[in-house]
Amino acid sequence: MMNQDKELIDLFKGLDTPAVSDAMDKLGIPGQCLGIKPLEHYKETVVGPAFTVKYVPCGQPAGTVGDFIDDVDPGDVIVIDNDGRIDCTVWGDIMTQYAGIRGIAGTVINGVCRDVYRAIDENYPIFSINHIMRTGKDRVEVASVNQPVAVGTTRVAARDIVVADANGVLAVPRNKAREVAEIARKIESAENEIRKMISQGMTLREARRLMGYHQLQTKT
């Protein structure tokens, strides 16, 4: 992982996806990966640069389905685009085990996974449309890596910053990461002040008014 990757990851430490999503809305940046759900209600936020993978229906003879993982750096988030297919998997227990061994931060799938017990037992973060047992071997193959892919309606480019937690998944364009993180922290700070105010007896309406709550995520 490059030093710049680590610097960008650090910008998002302590933030969750709601704050980052609000910041992206304020800046008019699309990035919410709609329809992608966490396998579990993870307590930690996953942040890392995207290693993108594009799958397509396989040819004859069929190509490979998972060997790309040897090229993924520790701390990266694998982002797989299988065109939203829910009829065959592109991630299973061996991939989960190996990703954990290599220190990969997590996996986002525009499609489905399987062997969910392994991911849950090993606390490996997976975010996908759903899960099913049917293999992707002889059905799909890797067409490209580190090229732009689609997750829902969101474009994800290689090394974009992925932020994912129990609420869902965001892809922050790399060249906007600093600006997004800065605004997200301001939003989070304002909301923390509101929580403090109402805990001390102030009405929610007044606390929100004082902190400009209704304009926090409004596009400027």
Nearest by Cα to 194 from 171, 180, 217, 211: 211
User: How much is the pLDDT for 3?
Assistant: 80
Residue with tokens 């969101």: 154
Residue 215: which residues within 8 A CB-CB, separation 6 or more? none
Fold of the domain built from segment(s) 31-172: Glucose Oxidase; domain 1 (3.50.30)
pLDDT tens digits, 72-116: 999 999 999 999 999 999 999 999 999 999 999 999 999 999 999
Q: What's the whole-model pTM score?
A: 0.93
State the chain's mean pLDDT as an integer.
94
Domain residue ranges of the chain, discontinuous segments joined by +: 31-172
What was the pLDDT predicted at 167?
97
81 beta partners: 54, 110
**pLDDT at res. 1:** 65
Is residue 7 pLDDT above 70, yes or no? yes
For residue 63, name the pLDDT band (cuts at 50, 70, 90): confident
Separation between Cα atoms, residue 107 and residue 146, nearest integer Å:
14
